Amino acid sequence: MTKLKVTVFPKAGVLDPQGKAIERALGGLGFEGVGEVRVGKVMIVETAESDAAKAKAAGEDMARKLLANTVIESFTVEIV
């Protein structure tokens, strides 16, 4: 059993309205000096694959096919 952590974020240059809203809200709450905020998602996926390299490759394939919209999002896959 191998656990994967798949992290997905909007690509640089892609509008992130949630991030902008959080940015403004933090400023409104008095948090000065907050730079750009980007909002993404994290998924933990368990796989029956015991070989780490094969599990990571499968996670990357999952991300490309379903977990991320690769036109506007980038992703990373880590073994956890």
12-24: per-residue pLDDT in tens?
999 999 999 999 9
**CA–CA dist 9, 57 (Å, integer):** 19
Give the CATH number for residue 16: 3.30.1280.10
Domain count, the chain: 1
- Sign (positive or negative) of CA dihedral 66, 69, 70, 75: negative
Question: 66: which residues sit within 8 A by CB, 6+ positions away?
Answer: none
The range of the structural domain enclosing residue 24 comes to: 2-79
Give the tens place of pLDDT for each residue, 24-64. Answer: 999 999 999 999 999 999 999 999 999 999 999 999 999 99
pTM comes to 0.86
Q: How far apart are CA 76 and CA 40, in angstroms?
A: 11
